[in-house]
Each structure stands twice: as C-alpha cells, then as structure tokens.
Structure 1
Amino acid sequence: MMMRQPSNPGQPVPVQLSFDDKWAIVIACDASYDGQFVTAVKTTGIYCRPSCRSRKPKKVNVAFMETNEQAEQAGYRACKRCQPEVERAPQEELASRIIGFLTEHHKRKLALQDLADYIGMSAYYLERQFKQTTSLTPRAYLEKLRIGKACALLADTELTHLEICYEVGFRSPSSFYKAFSRHMLCAPGEYRERRRRLGPERSAENG
C-alpha cells in the first residue's frame, strides 16, 4: 500500500481537524501538530503551541486559531513558556513531522524507506537528522511508542498479551516480549499484575 505523501516535498500534508481533535492534541501535548494551529485561552488572553506544557485551561475557555497572526489580531499574546512566535529549527520541525507520522501509523509495518518517501528525503539523511534531535533512531522511537501503548492496554483493558502484541503493531509475540522486557525490565504479565496491585492502593489514597 502506498503511503500518503506531501504535495510538496518537505511540507506537511494539511489535515482537517475538528475542535475535539485539536483539544485531544492539546491534552496530549502533541508536538507533531505545532505550527498547524494555536490554542487561545479566553480567560488569560494567551495563545500557545499544541505542545505547551503549561496547566491546561477548561475546554469551554479555549478557542483554536490557524496562525499566530490570527490570534494576535484577536487580542491574544504569545505564551512565554512555549513561545509560539519563535520559529523552530528545521531539525526540530522534521523530528516533529516524523513523530506525528509514526504515532498515526504505529500499527502498520513500517520501514525507514516508508518514512523517507513520506517526508521526501533520503533514508540516510532522515535517520541522521532524527537521531541528532531525539537521540533515537526512528525505529527505536517507534518501538518505544508501541511499548508505551502496550503498557496502557495492559493496565486498562482485559486484552490478552497476544491481542495487545498485534494491536500496538508488533509482528510477532517473540519480538513483543523481547522489546517489552528490554524497555520495562519485566514481562507483560508481571507488569499487568503490578499495576493491578497498585490499583486498590491508589483508590484508597484518593478516597
């Protein structure tokens, strides 16, 4: 299956996002959407990047705008923490786009060349630039992403280990178990049991 490619090499593909889509991105502090829209907070008069780590406002107090200029014309000022008015270095923008692609397609079988075709540059250069920015290769980042999603499913669902393995994008149980043990220093079953033991304690603390 062919990957969707940008109309102009090196430029992101425009994505139509609903208000709820954008709100979910803001809650996740997803840096892959920085530059696609800004979050304006009505109660403070400040606008931020989607990835801003400041305390989240109430959903009812948020408006989304396409550009910094639009936000400033509406009377909002730039957040001093995330500095949306400051352009990112090209390497950071590239890493952000790669992370967004990996997050969206983590369930698929992906090769480095798939990323290179999507971004519009050589696989060697893409991997080199990404590693300089994140200290990880795209492959290592994808594995880490999949393990994070597996942890969430182990903690919050009753899916079997095999179901989780394929749900998060691993191609075989053996590769899943090896990767999980390497990242979490325990087996999936041990992780699930540990989280379940912590559940009642947390409930008691919160009660």
Structure 2
Amino acid sequence: MSSIDLSFEEMWKIILNCDRTYDGLFFTAVKTTKIYCRPSCRSRKPKKKNVEFFLLKAEVERAGYRACKRCQPEVEHSPHVDLVQQVVTFLVNHAKEKITLDDLASHVGVSPFHLERVFKQETSVTPRGYLEKVRIGKAIFLLENTSKTNLDICYGVGFKSPSNFYKVFKKWMKQSPNDYRKELSRSGYDAMERP
C-alpha cells in the first residue's frame, strides 16, 4: 500500500468526522489506553495530545498497541477495500492534478463503470465527489491555518477556476470561503501563516 500524504491535523479532522473512506490507510493510536482504531471508529474521541497516527498495521502493533474491540481495525470488512484504498490514496496524493475517471480506472486496473459503482457503494460518493471532498478538506485546512488568499487556496488545492471553487465549497460547506473565514474571525480564531 502506498503512503498517503496527510498532515497530523488533516488526519485528526478525518477521525473527528469518522470518515470510513480512510479505513486501512492509517490507524489512530491512543497513548493512554494503548488501543488503535480505524479512522471511522465511533468510540469516544481521545484528547488530541494523546493521539499518534500510523500508516501500517504492523507498525502500530509493533509499538505495543492492541486492536479496538468496537471497530476491529485488524479485520478487513469488504472485498473491495483494497480498491477503494488505492483510489483514496491516489486522489489524496494527486488532488492538485486534473484527474478523469478513465485515468483513475486505468491507474487501479479496472473499468471506469466498475470503479464508479464499487467506489460509490463503499463510500456513498463517486470518485469525482470524493476528489471534491479532499480538495475542500485541504481548502478548509488552509483557510483555518494560513492567511493565503482564496485565489491562492483555490489553485493550491487543485481547482481550475475560482467560480468552480466557490460553487463546490458552497455545496459542501453551505457557505462561501469568505463567510467561512469571517465565521472563524468572529469566533476568535486567528489564522497565521505557517511555512
């Protein structure tokens, strides 16, 4: 399995949202309980300072963690899990690029029809919808943690036009990027430029 290009903060948000499309791509380990979970685990969330992330099951188990009895991260639940994980990894790592369904299907070695059907069955969104979700997640991270302009964020996360960025952002977040940032300011959140 290839490595996935996500920061600690991005993985933290994924586990807060219990996003099952990342199951198997990384594992959440809780230092205080010595238990590891899937990103989608519905158990009570630990304190952020007590969490570490591992990309491989063997690594987390070597570090002395045992599997959660609730989400059973050591068990693969679906025959399509490898295919979905390959697609998710590719979409996360190549989110800035132009990606067509045909390109994606060719990359994982299945027909576009099969890929779209299986991916939607497992994740409840199409690969295109998932790519939007990844880009919006990265945009939110940048809106919250940098002072970059909306235009810089738009192109930086892979959108080809500001109008498409605003439309997709509003579809997922029910508000514009400007309104999202204003809401952060009102709540006392200070965005700072980070390297």
CA contact (8 A) 2:30 2:51 kept: no
| Pair 1:122–1:45, CA change in 2 (3 A) | same
Cα distance between partner residues in 1 of 2:127 and 2:84: 9
Cα deviation for residue 138 of structure 1 reads: 0.5
Cα deviation for residue 174 of structure 1 reads: 1.5
Q: Which residue is equivalent to 1:136?
A: 125
Secondary structure in structure 2 of the residue aligned to 1:106:
coil
Secondary structure in structure 1 of the residue aligned to 2:131:
helix
CA contact (8 A) 1:47 1:76 kept: yes
CA contact (8 A) 1:49 1:84 kept: yes
CA contact (8 A) 2:28 2:51 kept: no
Identity %: 49
- Mapping of 1:16-165 within 5 angstroms? 27=12, 29=15, 32=22, 34=24, 44=33, 46-49=35-38, 52=41, 55=46, 58=50, 67=58, 71=61, 77-165=66-154
Secondary structure in structure 2 of the residue aligned to 1:67:
helix
Cα distance between partner residues in 2 of 1:188 and 1:25: 18
Residue 179 of structure 1 pairs with residue 168 of structure 2:
yes
| Pair 1:32–1:85, CA change in 2 (3 A) | same
Code of the residue aligned with 2:187 in structure 1: it is L
Cα root mean square deviation, aligned: 3.7
Cα deviation for residue 64 of structure 1 reads: 8.4
TM-score (norm 1): 0.67
Residue 192 of structure 1 pairs with residue 184 of structure 2:
no
More moved, 94-103 vs 45-54: 45-54
Cα deviation for residue 84 of structure 1 reads: 2.7
Cα distance between partner residues in 2 of 1:22 and 1:195: 21
Unpaired runs of at least 5, structure 1: 1-11, 201-207
TM-score (norm 2): 0.71
Code of the residue aligned with 1:129 in structure 2: it is V
